[in-house]
Amino acid sequence: MNRQRLNLWWFIGTLVFALLSMLVPLPGVLEPFKPYWPALFLLYWSLESEDRVTLGLAFAVGLAADLLNGVVLGEQALRLCALVFIALRFRSRLRFFPMWQQALAVLALLLNDRILLLIVRVLAGASLPPASWWISPFVGAALWPFLFLLLDDLRARLRIQ
């Protein structure tokens, strides 16, 4: 019972941490390199514990992210839903990929996410972003192995399912 509650808190805690990291600004030069943290954390959890991550959760996290940092309500909800749907569809294959292949898959997912964001922003009337805006998915994919191993290691240490 207690362990289950700990599991749940750990799960929620990582998602809250992801939302907070999304808000933390980086120095001006590094700004385009900031990965989209909520997507990475949701991807991790959708690969690791399928029963917890559903489309509804992705939608809720996206709405929370929109409330905190967003241009249009529902924008990140849409992006995260699409991302989690694809990840859940290919979950069993993604899980057994070697790490570099998994990172490439993450890159594809994040690029898809950026394209969705671009479509939404352009339809909402924003101007096209600068070229450096496309760096972020690559940084996210490069960080993926480390994030995955770190979270796995923490989970093993805390004996959390």
**Binding residues for another protein, per CB under 8 A?**
19-20, 22-26, 28, 31, 34, 55-56, 58-59, 62, 66-75, 77-78, 81-82, 85, 88-89, 91-93, 120, 124-130, 133
Q: Measured from the CB atom, is 25 or 98 closer to another protein? A: 25
- Least distance between another protein and beta carbon 150 (Å): 19
- Shortest spacing between CB 160 and another protein, in angstroms: 22
* Minimum separation from the CB atom of position 72 to another protein (A): 5
In the complex with another protein, which residue's Cβ is closer, 2 or 127? 127
**Tokens 């700004």 identify what position?**
31
Q: Please, where are the H alpha helices in the chain?
A: 2-23, 37-48, 55-68, 75-89, 91-95, 99-123, 135-158
**Min. distance of Cβ 159 from another protein in angstroms?**
25
What is the residue-wise DSSP string for 66-110?
HHHS-SSTTHHHHHHHHHHHHHHHTHHHHHTS-HHHHHHHHHHHH
80 or 106: whose CB is closer to another protein? Answer: 80
The answer to whether 38 and 22 are in contact (CB under 8 A) is yes
> Cβ 2 to another protein, closest distance in Å?
27
8 vs 67, beta carbon nearer another protein: 67
Phi/psi zone of residue 26: left (φ > 0), alpha (ψ -120 to 50 degrees), beta?
beta
Distance CA 112, CA 109 (A): 5
Closest to another protein by CB, 133 vs 138, is 133
